Amino acid sequence: MKKKLIIDVDAGVDDAVAIMIALSMPDVEVLGITCCNGNTSVENVLKNVLRVLKICNRLDIPVYRGCSKPLVARTIHASDYFGTDGFGDVPDPHAPSLDLVQKKKAEQAIIDFVNENPGEVMLVSTAPLTNLAVTVQLDPTLSKKLKALFIMGGNTESRGNTTMCGEFNFVADPEAAYIVLDRYTCPTYIATWEFTCRNSLPWKAQSPEFRDTNPLGCEFDLCDAYAMAAAVNADIDADINNFITESVEVAVTVELEGTYTRGMMVLDYMHKLKKEHTVFIMKKVDLEMFQEMLINAVK
């Protein structure tokens, strides 16, 4: 039986790669792709997802419009990283029409897919967690019917990439991240910012001269793709994941009030939260397997 996925994105180049990995796996069925404000506006995210699906000849996969702004936080985008449109501002005169976007809202689509396939659906989020937070508020029983949740976001050592202590997806909507980590009690796996930095891949095509003069530019980090790689290689029933070679299991939450730490993920090694639900924080993965998956995704 194929693994059933819902993918929640704010595409984003690395979101695009994550989608392509899922589409390249013969034992994976992508039920739908939900879109959220994040790297760029939700309008651009919808366009970018449709562009990816067109290139992959998979415009049959339904795409859904989600939240256009955070629950409470000020809206931020990653225009300095992925360009104003999320795809490096590369023109695409033949991009698919937004008329292809489904009329149903993303949150309702997630609820319907899960209710139609109870215990079978894995949800992969590579975006701010706004859509997921709204979804669980609409259906508080959703988490009990999900097979697993995979997230790219958060951090483990206060090392930020947007604020001093915060990773982009969590900083973009801290309240949503807090709600998701509090109310989703299904098996949960998180690829954090520091983890992805430590598991970067080399730019093999670079010349020796470039590597010698640019020692910090010899690796690339497709953050969102790690969460997807973990999802498509997961055997949740058998508690096996050939991709993840080392992880730590711990209860987590998100700081909402700190001046410098708002949006930072907090790991409760001292058991102060008294939470029954713990998550798996990825530490190491099979990089050879990851590289092979990336190659297959773009063939």
Residues recognised as catalytic: 10
Is 168 strand, coil or helix?
helix
Which residue intervals of 87-192 are DSSP H helices? 106-116, 130-138, 142-145, 168-172, 174-183
CA distances from 167 to 55, 77, 139, 171, 189 (A): 30, 13, 27, 6, 16
Please state, as a whole number, how many other Cβ atoms lie within 10 Å of the Cβ of residue 93: 4
- Residue by residue, DSSP assigns 6-42 as EEEE---HHHHHHHHHHHH-TTEEEEEEEE-SSSS-H
